Structure 1
Amino acid sequence: MPRTIRITRSHKLATAVLVAAGSVTAITATGGQSDAQPAAARSSIAAEKVSAEAPAAKEAAARKAAAQEAAAEKAVAERKAAAKEAAAKKALAERKAAAEKAAADRKATAKKAAEKARSEKQAANRSTERKAVAAPKQYTNNLDGWIRESLDIMKKKNIPGSYEGLHRNIMRESSGNPNAVNNWDINARNGIPSKGLLQVIQPTFDAYHVKGTPKQLTDPVANITAAANYAADRYGSIDNVDSAY
């Protein structure tokens, strides 16, 4: 049979103390839990707030970084554009300077060439003048020389005639004698005899005398040139004369 336990007053007091202690512990535990709950809530809210603010801050930082990068790229682009513009201006200035220099060089070369040509021409003219003065053309003092000198004068005065035409008429009229005088024809009877290589009378010589030749009827060159001038006026040329004229 089971043993009967007798509860004494001491047992009752001990039990009451234990119950009381348990209640206090329970109350203490309950009270502690109640105080801890607001702190945990606050921590949770703060964590949620930080968690909510983090993307916004990150986005702001990203926008700032992007803006800084864009500003840097813009600065680089502006520097490149400025450098390109400066290079273009420099190249244009260099081309302009080169063109101006080339034009100046061409002008200087042309001027130098013109001066050289002018100097050479002047030197040639002086040389020609010196030669003309220092070495005049020489003619022999005979029929050939007289005819050739007359031809040169006739050429300068635009009087037509050839060596053959002059020589042929001279030989017919005077046989080449510059002092020949006709004392028997009508002119002689009229007191104005024909004289010289081409038998010219004084009035005709005076009328057709060519400037630059002696004013002497029997001078060989003066006589030939005046006769050729007269023949050109009357017959077109001494070459057209084949008989007395």
Structure 2
Amino acid sequence: MPGRGKHRRPRTSPLTRGVVAAGTGGAALTLPLLGATQASAAQPAQSAPAAQTAPQAAQPAKSLTYTVTKGDTLYRIADKYDVSGGWKQLYKDNRAAVGDDPRLIHPGLKLKVKTAKAAAGPKAATQKKATQSSAPAEPADGVTKATPAAAKTYANNLDGWIREALDIMAQRGIPGSYDGIYRNIMRESSGNPQAINNWDSNAAKGTPSKGLLQVIDPTFAAYHVPGTPYDPYDPVANITAACNYAADRYGSIDNVFGPY
């Protein structure tokens, strides 16, 4: 991309989902849980008064050491362990190890993670998903509770990345079609989310084109779509930012048929 994002076809490496701050992509969309009021049972006439339960103290945050693996970002790690303050707090706690750019984390890097989960780690995350997917038991008093809607999931491949990006774009009013996105991705990166162009004029200026739709850092920063990882190598973040830019400059990514 010239100044704002024109790029030529990059030299790519085999398809991989890992990124410098390796990406994501795929946060599932969920509908809010609707609460329902339960009827309280009548107190038996001769029963002893119930013992008043002392309020439960808030669980203090627990610290664990997390080793970064390929595909990780600070955003994903913070979300996985419910870090209070999100990725910004995680970065603040580990700035000495991470350095000045929170996007540049690499496999093998050890991070200090503060989590309030009872059982920190991948096992806890698995238990959380199992709990969310199971149907709640019928209340004893017969009051029916609203259940959460099933979360929408996407395949961790080019088709899934495009479909997730389209759903986010629809929420933000960003135009674009599956065919238009796919056509431009195949021209720009051949579907490799880690593609980088280190030889064109943008690279010579120190801003190489990156990711599926070959976005330079200034363009990504200007057109990044909130709710996606701040990582130009993240497939969904890259697609949505590029489509946001194309909509501003050309009306839609569908109107782009060459380097842009």
Q: TM-score band, normalised by the shorter chain?
A: 0.3 to 0.5
Bigger radius of gyration among the two: 1
Which protein has greater RCO, CA pairs closer than 8 Å, 6+ apart?
A: 2
TM-score by length of 1: 0.47
Q: Which protein has the bigger strand share?
A: 2
TM-score by length of 2: 0.44
